Amino acid sequence: MQADTELPLGSARLVVLGSAGLAGGFSLIGAEVHADANAATVETVLEQLAKSGDEALVLLETHLSHSGGYWLNRLRNEGGRIVITELPPLPAPHDYAPAVDEVVRAVLGPEALK
């Protein structure tokens, strides 16, 4: 029997913000897509998510992930019901370096990821 505090499977939102080419593929699996989003769009969407109380996985294309902003920074620092991660850019996936790489290098040394 399911407890009242548990959410039904599939209740979290999948939200994707990025270039039309990257985001378009995610629409095929039912993601909420914001194609050709900019930093202002990211802030608007994240504010709405924060205020809605919904759980969400938010995927941001790299340039948007590094755009900063009040809601982006706040939700990253809070953790919890809204998880934000980044996607490599579609035209240059080999240039992708996740932000966690810098943390790993700081803790384990510059050769840690070679």
- CA dist 5 → 8, 74, 77, 111 (Å): 10, 25, 24, 45
Give alpha helix (H) positions in the chain: 20-27, 39-52, 62-65, 70-78, 100-108
DSSP 93: G
How does pLDDT run across 15-61, given as a tens digit for each residue?
999 999 888 889 888 899 999 999 999 999 999 999 998 999 999 99
Burial call 82-111: b when 16+ CB within 10 Å, e when fewer: bebebbbbeeeeeeeeeeeeeeeeeeeeee
**Three-class secondary structure of residue 2 per DSSP:** coil
Question: Tens digit of pLDDT for each residue in 73-85?
Answer: 999 888 789 999 8
Question: Which pLDDT belongs to residue 95?
Answer: 67
pLDDT recorded at residue 3? 41
SS3 109: coil
Domains detected in the chain? 14-88+98-108 (3.40.50.10580)
